[in-house]
Amino acid sequence: MDYGYVNARVKGMNSILFNRKYYDTLILKADIDSLITELEKSPYKNEIEEGCVLHPGILGIEYALRKNLIKNYHKILGLVRGDIGEIYINVFLNRWDIQNIKTILRGKNIHASPNEILECLVPAGELDEATLTELMKQQDIRSVIDLLATWQISYSHPLTMYLDEYSEKNDLAVLEYALDKYYYEHSLSIVAGKKYDSRIIHDLLATEIDIVNIKTILRVIRDSIDIEETQSMLLPGGKIFKHKNLLELINTNSIRDVVRKVESTPYSFLSDIPEQAFLTDKISAFEKELDRYIIRKGIRTLRGDPLSISIVIGYLWAKFNEITNIRIIARCKNAYISDEELQEELIYV
């Protein structure tokens, strides 16, 4: 595939992403209304206008951000349609399908209304809005899985396989784990080759698996969950931590020991987290740093071979980061959180 045209367009799209100076401008806005006014001058103009007509305040911004993310991702997918690049990009976009199915299952679990669920969906993957809307209308979790199976959507396989276990334990984490496991195993099998493009995506996926596993272990230790039970919740295929290493980590007694054990790995940055987080077992601080690490790593692929998929993958991460940052700013403005605290929450790249 000739990436010249696609990558030039993607680089053009990347050049209009917000820089640090513009984030500062957004942070300095006094309230949510002035933030909306500022965003109306940005590339989000059309979506913000539409969002603010349909929903008031923060909900309008959320709507606009979702719409813009979907528009951008689908635009890129359109550029590579029919080429090998489409497969690689779908590997990235399929995570939104997983996220959407999880959201629907969670919504059904707490008997949320279809409208409430719809507000949380981001149809950026292969499952479009019409499919997700139909899934949302189902009565319960079992009906959602049945409908996925009827439509022969591949995500129904892991869900059907773990449905009995879910029914026994009545724990949604079982189904969520099944989806994650399926997504990572399936994606890793697609990018198993030795080509440059495959290796880039494989590396990112394997790093993500490590991060998901570290987060799981931190939660297990904090909540003192049974170790035997947790072993089956660890994802295979990590970059640094294989099953044996994960068992070593899980058998430690404290978060501090986990951090000490990862000091010789690329995740050594965890030891720089303030002491307060260790004392209070506040794992959100660790999770935030791990998320930052994978986002930075994803965006760094923008500096890879200019005639490879790495530019597109880097952009997808950069766009995701921009949307996340705007959402953080909007949420903080809505909750009257100070500018200093807000700045700490943002992920600058």
Partner 1 sequence: MEGWEVPIGAAIAFAAGAIGTAWAQSRIGAAGAGTIAEKPETSGSIIVLEAIPETLVILGFVVASMIILMVK
- Using CB under 8 A as the criterion, which residues of the chain lie in contact with partner 1 when the complex forms? 2, 4-9, 11-13, 15
Note whether 348 and 320 are within 8 A (CB): no
In the complex with partner 1, which residue's Cβ is closer, 74 or 219?
74
Please name which of 319, 314, 313, 288 lies closest in space to residue 300, comparing C-alpha atoms. 314
User: What residues have CB less than 8 Å from 53, skipping those under 6 apart?
Assistant: 60
Please name which of 305, 299, 336 lies closest in space to residue 318, comparing C-alpha atoms. 299
Least Cβ distance, residue 12 to partner 1 (angstroms): 3
Residue 68 and residue 74: Cα distance in Å, rounded?
Answer: 10
Please name which of 325, 344, 304 lies closest in space to residue 18, comparing C-alpha atoms. 325
In the complex with partner 1, which residue's Cβ is closer, 74 or 142?
74
Least Cβ distance, residue 15 to partner 1 (angstroms): 7
Least Cβ distance, residue 327 to partner 1 (angstroms): 25
User: What residues have CB less than 8 Å from 301, skipping those under 6 apart?
Assistant: 200, 204, 310, 311, 313, 314, 317
CA angle 61, 65, 67 (to 5 degrees): 115
Residue 248 and residue 28: Cα distance in Å, rounded?
Answer: 46
In the complex with partner 1, which residue's Cβ is closer, 8 or 28?
8
286: three-class secondary structure by DSSP: helix
Note whether 316 and 73 are within 8 A (CB): yes
In the complex with partner 1, which residue's Cβ is closer, 2 or 340?
2
The single-letter code of the amino acid at 309 is I
In the complex with partner 1, which residue's Cβ is closer, 220 or 316?
316
Note whether 207 and 294 are within 8 A (CB): yes
Least Cβ distance, residue 41 to partner 1 (angstroms): 18
Least Cβ distance, residue 306 to partner 1 (angstroms): 9
Least Cβ distance, residue 17 to partner 1 (angstroms): 12
Q: What is the dihedral of CA 294, 244, 285, 65, to 10 degrees?
A: 40
Least Cβ distance, residue 82 to partner 1 (angstroms): 16
Least Cβ distance, residue 13 to partner 1 (angstroms): 6
User: What residues have CB less than 8 Å from 244, skipping those under 6 apart?
Assistant: none
In the complex with partner 1, which residue's Cβ is closer, 15 or 284?
15
CB atoms within 10 A of CB 28: 11
In the complex with partner 1, which residue's Cβ is closer, 9 or 327?
9
Residue 183 and residue 123: Cα distance in Å, rounded?
Answer: 17
Helix axes 196-223, 172-190, angle to 10 degrees: 160
In the complex with partner 1, which residue's Cβ is closer, 28 or 84?
84
Least Cβ distance, residue 317 to partner 1 (angstroms): 19
In the complex with partner 1, which residue's Cβ is closer, 7 or 187?
7
In the complex with partner 1, which residue's Cβ is closer, 11 or 300?
11
Least Cβ distance, residue 307 to partner 1 (angstroms): 9
